[in-house]
Structure 1
């Protein structure tokens, strides 16, 4: 049973940001530490870019609340009527600025300043804004120093999905050669791949936010998203192949080379992702020869033979669609492939020296 109370990195970062912000504010002798804690908490996000956006929005709302609270506090005091009037102005101001999400914190700051017993409301407002600023700066610093590596997470997810697709391709090939034997839980595994692709797309979105500060990797996140979307289409193709393969009632001679072609596509798929040559000309020639073999097939003599051949013909069409889609996969795992090739060369050189 999974742990429902798992303490992740973001929770630890948030607690650290809140604690450090309060420590600094208390060391400076500020009366209240609430704003520093609130701003630090909402600033700690999953990406550094998102943290900057959130902190800017919250600091703006704190500044607006401080100004309105000071003005209405000096003019109307801290009567119930004054609190009601400042609330109206807070809501109208936030709506005018399109800050609907900041209405609550703006109102809390304004009412908090008006209800304070500080000798000087302007100085107390400055103190509150500085407290919020400290919370934002501390949280930004911690989020920058301990930023998660979403790129590695996306690559890992891509590798997992590619492996699952390869297993499913092998299952379809086996079904073509062993009529009447269907792979277990095939469609459930395809549904799992769909869910994993959604997770991968979310991770790539987070990585895309990280790239907003990097000019050298501007399109890498887009390549990841492109590969994941193509994987989604490939999963649908494999489900259709599976449905056609399990319809085959008799063995068909052409099933063996087509199954071999599907297994070759497993290698093409990983080679495309790792930026290695795929021998496209040889595969194109193989497909053309298989198409010629289909044209020379004798007419079926039984109903079972007709269903098997018809299913195989449609399955071959799906494989060709899968092949075309595979040719569009971007080399998103190229770095790992280059590292593996370098390690292989080093090992070979080491063996030669030993000889």
Structure 2
């Protein structure tokens, strides 16, 4: 059972409904409670979604009014005419891309049907309900909770997990420690999915912004994770430990201590070039098993260079 919780979206919805009904009632609009229904239908999780919701519902409602006026005034106010009107109306709003506005438009159409007389006063009344209902929805949806702290929390969590992963690789190469269960790999994937979803939500809450630096950051970390998951089998299945393993171990220890949101990838790529040179200067192994181990290690450092190249392409977060 989920714990009882009143979120800020629930609070916004309650305030919006009460406010829109109060305004509609104050101006003496008929069916004033419908303004609250229109507000409910437009409360969304992000500002962009709210604006789009208002657009689809406004257009659908106006089209619904037009259809109702033509059909009901021409053929009479009876259920058969209403049925045929809806049969034609639904494909129309689907065609013009405002299908989500059907429920809102249905509210308006039912008002017209109930009155059984399409007058100018009724037309203005329905426009008033839409103005109040949709307007209040936009107003209350302009407030969105600050998610900066959550994004920072996810960033710190991801970096901690990366440090742990690199530290475990270092311990394995240093001493052959194989006690790591790899749970951090599963955990970091889950954290990245949540973080990217939250960062995208932040983009949607800015009407003119097309990207978010945190989204780019988590996307960069996700691409790095793909490399880590790809190379781990190569490094954890070495047939035998060789002298070159210590070089890679030292590099991974240094890298594990410097995982952060800034951009120091260039300096680490330079360090990796030094590792490659020292690697090449070491004598070739004499046994087949040692040769395979050395080849796996060299492939690993090539992949880590790609890991750092991805980070180098990211400008870094402002902290």
> Which TM-score band applies after superposition, normalised by the shorter structure?
0.7 to 0.9
- The alignment status of 1:130 with 2:116, answered yes or no, reads no
The whole-number CA distance in structure 2 between the counterparts of 1:48 and 1:240 is: 39
TM-superposed CA distance for 1:212, in Å, is 2.9
Q: Which of the numbers 305, 310, 314 marks the counterpart of 1:320?
A: 305
- For residues 84 and 120 of structure 2, the distance between their equivalents in structure 1, rounded to whole angstroms, comes to 19
Distance 1:285 1:93, change over 3 A: closer
Q: Distance in 1 between matches of 2:87 and 2:191?
A: 46
- So what's the TM-score if we normalise by structure 2? 0.86
Q: What's the CA shift string for 1:308-344, capped at 9, x where partnerless?
A: 3333222222222222222222212x1x2xxxxxxxx
CA displacement, residues 270-308 of structure 1 (integer Å, 9 cap, x when unaligned): 1xx235xx3845x45533332233223334345654443
- The 4+ residue runs of structure 1 with deviation greater than 6 A are none
Matches within 5 A, 1:66-215: 66-116=65-115, 121-144=119-142, 146-184=143-181, 186=182, 188-213=183-208
The answer (yes or no) to whether the contact 1:247–1:311 under 8 Å persists in 2 is no
SS in 2 for 1:256: helix
Instruction: Write the distance in 1 (CA, Å) between the matches of 2:167 and 2:97.
Output: 54
Gapped regions of structure 2 (runs ≥ 5): none
SS of the residue 2:40 aligns to:
helix
Structure 1: gaps of 5 or more residues: 337-355
Contact 1:169/1:263 (8 A) holds in 2: yes
Report the TM-score when normalising by structure 1: 0.78
| Inter-partner Cα distance in structure 2 for 1:3 and 1:232 | 30
Which stretch of the first structure deviates more once superposed, 290-299 or 43-52?
A: 290-299
Q: 1:13 to 1:237 in 2, by over 3 A?
A: same
2:217 matches 1:227: yes
Task: Output the CA distance in 2 between the equivalents of 1:159 and 1:58.
Answer: 41
Partner SS for 1:183: coil
Distance 1:264 1:21 in 2: 60
Aligned-residue RMSD, C-alpha: 2.9
CA deviation profile, 1:17-71 (whole Å, cap 9, x unmatched): 1122222223333332353122211221222232122112212222222333234
Structure 1 CA distance for aligned equivalents of residues 60 and 45 of structure 2? 22
Distance in 2 (CA, whole Å) between partners of 1:286 and 1:53 is: 50
Q: 1:122 to 1:113 in 2, by over 3 A?
A: same
Tell me by how many angstroms 1:154 deviates: 3.3
How many residue pairs get matched? 319
Of 58-67 and 85-94, deviating more is 85-94
